């Protein structure tokens, strides 16, 4: 076995131990942590995007079930809003950051220099891909246990907390940049009253940056903030944007 293969095996073992994943998932864990930039650079045939797709579906099912069981009084709209917040890119990036996944990511050199390990999109994708890897290796029950263990705080959070982390991240970036605050405007609604969908525009310095939609005003504002974060290239490190070198 080559030295590179030995290194990857050791890396996978550290990942499994840190995240309390039973043995056996190591090969898929390496794939789950392989960012597309690493695949492009190394010429590998796969990255974590397919596992991310699978993990997203498993995550949604687990979170939906947990929220349903936890709050018998919640309406369908409440449940949808809370699930959207938990499985949002920023919400998952917060969990991934807490688990130290950023330092485990396998990135291309250029992406690493641009702060790729702190990008919400990369962190969220890796976490979902890890869930997919656990599901494929150990089955749904193990994947459910993984999600409930590591996202328990988010699942148990009060409804009032929905969207706050996403909006705070954007606000911190705009304040560090020029002292301004984002402004959120509901610009439209659609659907019947019991399935109302809100559309929100977020503006910075008077100009519209992005839009988002959701089953409530809060959810639409959070979706708009998340879209703006993606568009502006904001990372978890306030003030670091696309093209900046850490």
Q: Which helix (H) or strand (E) holds 58?
A: helix 49-70
Q: Nearest to residue 183, comparing CAs of 152, 154, 207?
A: 207
- Burial (CB < 10 A; 0-12, 13-18, 19+), residue 147, is buried
User: d(Cα 97, Cα 237) in Å, to the nearest integer?
Assistant: 11
Q: Which residue has the tokens 């990942």?
A: 15
Active-site residue 128, yes or no?
yes
User: d(Cα 218, Cα 196) in Å, to the nearest integer?
Assistant: 13
Candidates 56, 81, 94, 111; catalytic one: 56
User: d(Cα 82, Cα 63) in Å, to the nearest integer?
Assistant: 9
Q: Nearest to residue 182, comparing CAs of 147, 221, 150?
A: 221
User: d(Cα 124, Cα 87) in Å, to the nearest integer?
Assistant: 9
Cα-only R_g, the chain: 19
Candidates 81, 128, 154, 221; catalytic one: 128
Hey, which residues are catalytic here?
56, 128
């Amino acid at each position: 076995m080559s030295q590179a293969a030995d290194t990857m095996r050791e890396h996978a073992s550290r990942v499994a131990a840190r995240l309390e994943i039973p043995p056996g998932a190591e090969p898929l864990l390496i794939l789950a942590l392989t960012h597309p930039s690493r695949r492009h650079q190394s010429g590998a045939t796969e990255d974590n995007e397919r596992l991310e797709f699978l993990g997203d579906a498993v995550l949604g099912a687990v979170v939906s079930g947990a929220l349903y069981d936890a709050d018998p009084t919640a309406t369908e709209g409440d449940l949808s809003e809370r699930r959207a917040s938990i499985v949002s890119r920023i919400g998952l990036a917060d969990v991934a950051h807490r688990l130290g996944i950023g330092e485990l990511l396998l990135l291309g050199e250029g992406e690493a220099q641009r702060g790729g390990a702190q990008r919400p999109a990369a962190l969220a994708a890796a976490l979902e891909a890890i869930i997919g890897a656990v599901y494929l290796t150990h089955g749904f029950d193990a994947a459910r246990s993984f999600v409930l263990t590591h996202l328990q705080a988010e699942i148990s959070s009060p409804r009032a907390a929905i969207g706050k982390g996403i909006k705070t991240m954007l606000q911190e970036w705009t304040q560090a940049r020029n002292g301004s605050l984002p402004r959120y405007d509901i610009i439209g609604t659609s659907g019947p009253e019991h399935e109302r969908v809100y559309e929100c525009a977020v503006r910075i310095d008077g100009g519209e940056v992005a839009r988002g939609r959701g089953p409530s005003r809060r959810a639409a504002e959070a979706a708009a903030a998340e879209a703006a974060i993606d568009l502006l290239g904001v990372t978890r490190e306030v003030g670091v944007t696309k093209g900046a070198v850490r």
